[in-house]
Amino acid sequence: MSGERIADWFDGRLGIHSLGRRYLRKVFPDHWSFLLGEICFYSFVVLVLSGVWLTLFFHPSMNEVTYHGGYVPLNGVRMSEAYASTLEISFDVRGGLLIRQLHHWSALVFVAGMLTHMMRHFFTGSFRKPREVNWVFGWTLLFLGLFEGLFGYSLPDDLLSGTGLRFVNGALLAVPVVGTYLSMFLLGGEFPGNDIVARFYSLHILVIPGIMAALVVAHVLLVVYHKHTQFAGPGRTERNVVGAPFLPVYLAKAGGFFFLVFGVLTLIAAMASINPVWQYGPFRADQVSTGAQPDWYLGFAEGLVRIMPGWEITLWGHTLVLGVLIPILVFPLLLVFIGVYPFVEARVTGDRREHHLLDRPRNRPVRTAIGAAWISLYLILLAGGGNDLVATRLHLSINTVTWVVRVGVFAVPAAVFVVTRRICLGLQLRDRELVLHGRETGVIKRLPHGEYIEVHEPLDQARLHTLTAHERPKELVEHER
């Protein structure tokens, strides 16, 4: 048979049969939280597909032209080719506005999915040996995704993105010694320069996507190599995986979920307007857009700058703008803390064993409290990045909002850490009561001597296994004493 001969030819040269026999029956656990990683991957695919389409119509040039197109209010206005082509995509290319918005919404969902996906891994402890390297790969994807979004956000050369670039340029200039060189290298001259769109375009469509694609492939390969983690349950051990095989069960589910994610993103893009650049107008260095806000994932970086006092010091005839320098140093440190946490935890706890079973967050109170405190800090800084909008919408003084955020940066994470840890310990005690006495039934029984008691129903073996299949946390032992 010709089909068999073709299959034998490929198998003899590529080993497809042996690879398929080994990996196509690979088992994947069935839990809703694993879908978070798939949302990241599928939104990345949508980003690539929509981005390739947009490159066919976008002109990454800052050469000035006079606009004559479908958006009448801007006809006759001088603008860059980048901005003019963005307007052309939005108003003159069939389906262009839908694809533009699909690309932008996919970027937001992609970053949100990565952050949520990493938090799932953080709270369940799946970053432990042997998956520390894969955690670093995922963290690098998140870090690159932030800057990839910034570069793409800046390409239309509208007034809002230009205001963001002004912020970036100010941050670069605040770096001692090399700040001016970094600014000149990035912009190709004095702000706003003439090459920034072309340079960002190369980074946005080639350099960073290439690195991210390589990291995605490496990330998936390591998942396959290390096998999937799973939550504790009957029949699940550190040496096996309980779930459905990749072919045909998981592949069918994954394929359907991809089209579901694609469809939802398209529906959002069709119904919800985002980044209407025609309302802002073309960028001019002498103008600033009111209410300028970055996309949500970089809002915390702007919050750091907005709440920082305008401190300056002069050393050896040089001025250090601490009001900008300190925030741009704290910004990467907040992210680096998450990236190195697996190595810090392993060193502090001395746990060098391999782990393939996931933790319930309540059984690791300190780790869960640290994660909750980090998220609370992120949200506080995000609110600080929009302090002007918070003040106007709530009819408050912007100084009041700024000082509340300043105090909250230190007070809220500490309070969240303490409260979260106490909640975890309380949930542990509740689980112990369930194991020892069973589930409350709501049935009241009177004993022969007149005492009233509530009847408890013993838990089934599967539930008992789930509640007891973990090491006894040290915090609970200390609490009992």
DSSP string computed for 314-352: EETTEEEEHHHHHHHHHHHHHHHHHHHHHHHHHHHH---
Question: Of 326, 359, 392, which residue sits at a domain end?
Answer: 359
Residue 135 vs residues 37, 209, 215, 309: alpha-carbon distances, Å? 13, 19, 11, 35
- Whole-angstrom Cα distance, residue 306 to residue 331? 13
What CATH code is carried by the domain that includes residue 285? 1.20.810.10
- The structure's pTM equals 0.89
264 in a structural domain: yes
Together in a domain, 342 and 445: no
Mean pLDDT of 435-463: 85
Residue-level pLDDT at 480: 42
195 in a structural domain: yes
- The first and second tokens of residue 403, run together, are 């000082």
Given a cut of 90, whether residue 11 has pLDDT beyond it is: no
- Whole-angstrom Cα distance, residue 138 to residue 212? 10
- Omega before 245 cis (within 30°)? no
Residue-level pLDDT at 479: 47
Together in a domain, 180 and 296: yes
Residue 26: pLDDT band with limits 50, 70, 90: confident
Residue 284: pLDDT band with limits 50, 70, 90: confident
- The first and second tokens of residue 99, run together, are 């694809």
What integer best gives the mean pLDDT of the chain? 87
105 in a structural domain: yes
- Whole-angstrom Cα distance, residue 450 to residue 432? 28
Question: Of 320, 341, 359, which residue sits at a domain end?
Answer: 359
Could you list the residue range(s) of the whole structural domain that residue 456 is in?
A: 436-480
Together in a domain, 328 and 466: no
C-alpha closest to that of 140 among 203, 214, 88, 86: 214
C-alpha closest to that of 298 among 331, 340, 272: 331
Given a cut of 70, whether residue 253 has pLDDT beyond it is: yes
Given a cut of 80, whether residue 467 has pLDDT beyond it is: yes
143 in a structural domain: yes
Domain count, the chain: 2
Together in a domain, 447 and 332: no
Question: Of 304, 328, 359, which residue sits at a domain end?
Answer: 359
396 in a structural domain: no
- Whole-angstrom Cα distance, residue 78 to residue 284? 10
Let me know: does 370 contact 345? Beta carbons within 8 Å.
no
DSSP string computed for 45-100: HHHHHHHHHHHTT------EEE--SS-GGGTT-EEEHHHHHHHHHHHTSTTHHHHH
260 in a structural domain: yes
382 in a structural domain: no
User: What digits encode the pLDDT tens for the residues 48-84?
Assistant: 999 999 999 999 998 999 999 889 999 999 999 999 9
Question: For the purposes of burial, counting CB atoms within 10 Å of the CB of 261, is it exposed (0-12), middle (13-18) or buried (19 or more)?
Answer: buried
307 in a structural domain: yes
Residue-level pLDDT at 365: 93
CA 40 to chain centre: 9
Together in a domain, 354 and 446: no
Residue 248: pLDDT band with limits 50, 70, 90: confident
